[in-house]
Amino acid sequence: MPDRHVAPYGEWESPLDAAALAEGAHLPAEAAYVSGVAWWSEPISRERLVSLFRAGPDGRPERLLPAPWNVRSRVHEYGGGAWTAVDGGAVFVHFDDQRLRRVDGSGADPVPLTPAAPATRYGGLRSHGDAVLAIRETATGEGPTDVERDIVLVPLDGRAAGDAGAVTSVVAGSRFLAQPAVSPDGRRLAWIAWDHPSMPWDGTELRVGDLVDGRVSEWRTVLGGPHESVLQPEWLDDGTLAVISDRTGWWNLYRLPLDTGTPEPLQAEERETGGPLWVLGQRWYLPTGDGRILATSTLGTDEQVLLDPATGERRTLRGDRSRTEWWAVSDGRALLIDDAASEPGGLRELDLATGEYRTLRAAFEGMPLDLFPGAELRDVDGVHAVVHRPSNPRFRAPEGGLPPFVAFVHGGPTAQAGVGLDPAVAYYTSRGIGVVDIDYGGSTGYGRAYRERLRGQWGVVDVADVVTVMTGLAEAGVADAARLAIEGGSAGGWTVLSALTSTDVFACGVSRYGVADAVALATDTHDFEAHYMDGLIGAYPEAADRYAARAPINHVETLTTPVLLLQGSDDRVVPPAQSQAFRDALAARGIRHAYIEFPGEGHGFRGREAIIRAKEASLAFYGAILGFVPPGVPALDLD
């Protein structure tokens, strides 16, 4: 093998360009079996939509919905559960009008199932006989929190398309509802409910109600409360539920006989089976139909396990995974979506008899996988992080220097860094720029106590933790202390701006649709997160002084480092006014910066052009500030 080219960190040539990121990261989103055939949804960045696919006879994907059909829900703004399998096809939510439609895979146009109603959205779909259960979200006014929700039953015969009265309201009674499940005998409904100011990882209730003529006649709370997060009820038989609860401080799986009401642990350990319910339809475990249960067990990384409640056996199928989601079982096979540091993410099929996995659809097809770096798990003074060192088989840096490093700060802040192959990481590392993905306090995957380190401390603990990790890497001789950068989106953008305005550790930062003004967010965000900051900072307006003290927009006078701001024009979660106000403050202070707004993009960039420009602008920005010239990207003009 010839010696590698020598070039400074940041100036290595890489075939992994921004266009490859935009077009190749087609990781499936939701999956199911339709008549024994795997169907799934998948984003198409070139068309800025999500489509439905199925496995063809030759194993190749067949697209089922041409443009402009777009399989996305807007319930809670984050959506989820945007389609479900039904007999002979699927029912899906079309993003543009949020109506439900049925498609059979024959090429015929989708058939409407719900009436045209601009104020109504559907999500969290689940098949139920000749109907579909859904979470319905209805606007009752002009404000972002003027909304009501209920669980509804939508018939598959299409009569509700012209008659709104044919949609049955099954149950309401709380601000938020999720994960409805009907008992095998059809006599009971179980679901998850919670109210402001709780978020679903703070406290939820498992409710069970009797069904009479398709409606819940009466219900009771059987598990959960304001300090217990209960998730994903699934019926094991007519009188027994499986459910996730973090009653011990860890999301674990339980068996709940309704006659006793006493939860019995199926997997009692200091690991997590469960996670933050940001989107509807998530599944962390799956009954196999023969008494066993497939489950995800997480402590930083995922294990995929097979549980047998009858014998107590727990068998690990695979470890060192991330983003493991279990979706469907059919004829001894299970569909799951996962990724790993050693394998591209994708849709896989597990043979329950042999334990063998088969990839049905892999992300990053055509990408040079030898450009993806390894994932090194680190605990830096109690803060969890995933380190990705610069890696390119064709290049090396001159002896004696250290690489620039970028801290990735995930959103949420209730979320988790993964170890899977990530082209956004490899885009930097293949050019000689290190990346560290930080699970700061507040992150999931490490139990409730770690999650609640951020309670009341947003803008303090998260900043301290990213500083701890970055200075630790510099002191360990992994990163160049003079060339540390930070980037993040949404809540991660808040941490970026907070770190830049309160510390001198970073040379620059990139904020994607980041929160700059906590007061504006508390008074102008959507209903799902309207009281999120009650737990992160404090109740508003009672804690108004704390909100003002924490907000980066109020500390621009302390900022000396350049900032790149990236924002979607149609963002309803963190409106553009947040980034625009920070831009204006930077301009008034004469601080070098750039502001790029992407027309038609929301909270997260989905379009090909936006993805390309955002990645190239970020790389060019780092080059301009950290002292290297990245080949193949246009320079970025700074104001």
Q: What is the pLDDT of residues 247-263, one digit of tens each?
A: 999 999 999 999 999 99
- Gap between the Cα atoms of 134 and 58, Å rounded: 34
Region 367-626: CATH code:
3.40.50.1820
- Gap between the Cα atoms of 538 and 418, Å rounded: 29
How many other CB atoms are there within 10 angstroms of residue 36's CB atom? 8
DSSP for 213-231, please give it: TTEEEEEEEEEEBTTB-EE
pLDDT of residue 227: 96
The two tokens of residue 325 are 């989601």
pLDDT of residue 100: 98
In words, the CATH class of domain 173-282 is: mainly beta
Secondary structure (3-state) at 68: coil
Q: What is the pLDDT of residues 120-167, one digit of tens each?
A: 999 999 999 999 999 999 999 998 899 999 999 999 999 999 999 999
- Residue 2 DSSP class: P
Is the pLDDT assigned to residue 23 strictly greater than 90? no
Domain ranges of the chain: 28-161, 173-282, 283-363, 367-626
Which residue, among 228, 233, 148, 141, has the nearest Cα to 182 in the 3D structure? 233
DSSP for 522-576, please give it: HHHS-GGGTTHHHHHT--TTTTHHHHHHH-GGGGGGG--S-EEEEEETT-SSS-H
- C-alpha separations of 41 from 52, 81, 84, 119, 373 in Å: 4, 10, 10, 25, 28
- Gap between the Cα atoms of 181 and 133, Å rounded: 9
- Gap between the Cα atoms of 235 and 184, Å rounded: 7
Is the pLDDT assigned to residue 516 strictly greater than 50? yes
Q: What is the chain's mean pLDDT, rounded?
A: 95
Cα 277 from chain centroid (whole Å): 9
Q: Which residues is 395 bridged to in the sheet?
A: 5
- Gap between the Cα atoms of 578 and 571, Å rounded: 10
- Gap between the Cα atoms of 508 and 485, Å rounded: 5
How many other CB atoms are there within 10 angstroms of residue 588's CB atom? 10
Higher-confidence position of 344 and 235: 235
Which residue, among 502, 504, 498, has the nearest Cα to 518 in the 3D structure? 498
The two tokens of residue 550 are 């924490």
Fold that domain 28-161 belongs to in CATH: Neuraminidase (2.120.10)
Which residue, among 337, 313, 342, has the nearest Cα to 325 in the 3D structure? 337
- Asked if residues 514 and 490 have their Cβ atoms less than 8 Å apart, the reply is yes
Is the pLDDT assigned to residue 326 strictly greater than 90? yes
The per-residue b/e assignment along 596-614, b for 16 or more CB within 10 angstroms, e otherwise, is bebeebbbebbbbbbbbbb
**SS3 annotation, 246-311:** CCCCCCEEEEEECCCCCCEECCCCCCECCCCCCCECCCCEEECCCCCEEEEEEECEEEEEEEECCC
Which residue, among 561, 374, 380, has the nearest Cα to 475 in the 3D structure? 380
- Asked if residues 384 and 465 have their Cβ atoms less than 8 Å apart, the reply is no
Q: What is the pLDDT of residues 91-125, one digit of tens each?
A: 999 999 999 999 999 999 999 999 999 999 999 99
- Report residue 1's pLDDT band, with 50, 70 and 90 as the boundaries: very low
Q: Which residue shows structure tokens 């096979």? A: 333
Q: How much is the average pLDDT of 563-590?
A: 95
How many other CB atoms are there within 10 angstroms of residue 556's CB atom? 20
Q: Which residues is 368 bridged to in the sheet?
A: none
Q: How much is the average pLDDT of 11-27?
A: 86
Which residue, among 77, 199, 197, has the nearest Cα to 139 in the 3D structure? 77
Which residue, among 421, 404, 227, has the nearest Cα to 341 in the 3D structure? 421
Q: Which residue shows structure tokens 């089976």? A: 273
- Residue 35 DSSP class: T
- Asked if residues 386 and 419 have their Cβ atoms less than 8 Å apart, the reply is yes
pLDDT of residue 110: 97
- Gap between the Cα atoms of 323 and 278, Å rounded: 14
Is the pLDDT assigned to residue 301 strictly greater than 80? yes
pTM of the model: 0.95
φ, ψ of residue 520 to 5 degrees: the values are -60, -40
Is the pLDDT assigned to residue 25 strictly greater than 90? no
Q: Which residue shows structure tokens 């750039």? A: 594
Same fold, 28-161 and 173-282: yes
DSSP for 419-443, please give it: -S--HHHHHHHTTT-EEEEEE-TT-
- Gap between the Cα atoms of 247 and 276, Å rounded: 15
Is the pLDDT assigned to residue 488 strictly greater than 90? yes
The two tokens of residue 80 are 């989820």
The two tokens of residue 30 are 């939701």
